Amino acid sequence: MRKSRLEITDRDILDEILSKQVLCRLAMADEGKAYIIPVNYGYRDNCMYIHSAPEGKKIDLIRNNPEICFEVEDGVEITPGDTACQWSTRYRSVVGYGRAEVLEGKADKQEGLEIIMRQHGAPEMIHFDEKNMKALVILRIRIESMSGKKSSNWDENKV
pLDDT at 146: 97
pLDDT tens, 21-62? 999 999 999 999 999 999 999 999 999 999 999 999 999 999
Residue 157 has pLDDT above 90, yes or no: no
pLDDT at 2: 67
d(CA 100, CA 29): 12
Strand intervals (E) in the chain: 7-8, 23-30, 33-40, 42-44, 47-52, 67-79, 88-103, 137-150
d(CA 77, CA 80): 10
pLDDT at 64: 95
pLDDT tens, 94-111? 999 999 999 989 999 999
Q: Model's pTM, two decimal places?
A: 0.90
pLDDT at 132: 84
Model confidence band, residue 65 (pLDDT cutoffs 50, 70, 90)? very high
pLDDT tens, 66-97? 999 999 999 888 988 899 888 988 999 999 99
Domains and CATH numbers, the chain: 4-146 (2.30.110.10)
Count the helix, strand and coil residues of the chain and give each as a percent rounded to the nearest 5.
25, 45, 30
Beta carbons within 8 Å of 79's beta carbon, 6+ residues apart:
87, 88, 89, 90, 153, 159
